[in-house]
Amino acid sequence: MNQYYSFHTLMSSSSFWDSVNILITKPNVINKRLWGCKLIFKCYCKPINPNWKLPLKCSLFDCDRTDSDSYKMDLLKELGVVLCTDFGIKACKNLSILLLELLPKSYTSHRAYQVICINKYEESVTFYNVTPVEVNQNICPEFTFILQLKNNYIILKSICDSASKSYQWLLNSVLPQFVKWGEKSSNDSKRQHICTESLALVPEDEYYKKYNTLKLKYGKEMVKIWPECTDPSKFVYEDVAIATYILLLWENIQNAHSNKPTFVDLGCGNGLLVYILTSEGYYGVGIDVRKRQIWDMYTNNIKLEERTIVPSDSNLFPNTNWIIGNHSDELTPWIPVIAARSSYKCLTE
């Protein structure tokens, strides 16, 4: 059953595509079941004939295959388009086909796959679910849906039952947020980014894999034995996420240099970040004005000190590569100063 819904909007064509870009590249900001996504391929195309129309469905993707090229060529044929090789022609940028792998927030959930057709001829974007049936995913709509800007209206077209939970989610959650992004972009004369990039320095798919590995390795067990009065489900996984980011940065540094980074965590609090980084093979020390109960539970190789840090010549770290200030409170604005005075090679996080 086809569903059709229109919503009046003040967004411009360019802001419509800003919203589309967020929906495609950062689906997790609106879909709380997602951690993020991975682009498998993107190609620019052109229709085979002038009466071209997109089909309602397209073939499912075999997620076990190691090479997506054969699927891409079959998909383009099914969609009625061919690859555009002459990028000097402006029209070649008006139609693009993407295959996305949607990454679930829960590591035990199945991944999903979407084919997305960006059609600037008609100012529309079409989303196809191409996840194999046997995967039984539950993180994105299983039906095809289309968003289009036409005569100052955002139009949502869906091939589904109106009672579907996924359709109601599109109608009541996705569409209003999509319009909000676009209208905010239209009113922003400086055209600033609507969504800031939080993982700008590391590959998102590598972060996803490493975070879930560390979460299973340290997170669950630490939550069980947490002796502090703070909420372990918040603080444990927050430190796992920070450790993941730092470790990926350091791995890239090690690829370029032979020496492993060393660190000092100022205001280390519970010391969990120091524990994870040390357990992953890096040398460092955590310093805090007050010792925590959990410190006694760590092994002897976890270096934690109870002392006050006052910004001065007596509190510099010339032999340290990285100074971390995750929970450094009043000391936070002084950390770049301490790093700069410690060594010209010293960095901050």
On whether residue 194 sits in a domain, the answer given is no
Distances in Å between the alpha carbon of 331 and those of 21, 152, 307, 310?
A: 38, 51, 13, 8
Please check whether residue 196 lies inside any domain of the structure: no
| Residue 123 and residue 94 in one domain | yes
Whether residues 26 and 174 fall in one domain: yes
Looking at residue 87, what is its pLDDT? 59
Alpha-carbon distance of 340 to 318, in angstroms, equals: 10
Instruction: Give the range of the structural domain holding residue 307, as residue numbers without chain letter.
Output: 204-348
Identify whether residues 152 and 231 lie together within a single domain: no
Both 162 and 209 in one domain: the answer is no
Domain count, the chain: 2
Instruction: Say if CB 268 and CB 287 are below 8 A apart.
Output: yes
Q: Does residue 156 share a domain with residue 108?
A: yes
| Boundary (domain end) residue, out of 162, 187, 212 | 187
Place of tokens 């008006």: 94
| pTM for this predicted structure | 0.75
Regions of the chain with pLDDT less than 70 = 1, 66, 86-92, 185-198, 255-258
Q: Are residues 113 and 174 in the same domain?
A: yes
Q: What is the reported pLDDT for 268?
A: 92
- Residues 152, 64, single domain; the answer is yes
pLDDT recorded at residue 191: 47
Domain end point (choices 152, 187, 222) = 187
**CA torsion angle 247 248 251 252 (round to 10):** -140
Which sign does the torsion angle of CA 69, 74, 75, 76 carry?
positive
233 and 139 part of one domain: no
pLDDT of residue 88: 57
Residues 95 and 236 placed together within one structural domain of the fold:
no
Same domain, 181 and 242: no
Which of these three, 156, 187, 218, is where a domain ends? 187
Q: What is the pLDDT of residue 197?
A: 58
Residue 168 sits in the same domain as residue 213: no
The pLDDT value recorded for residue 326 is 83
**178 plus 243 within the same structural domain:** no
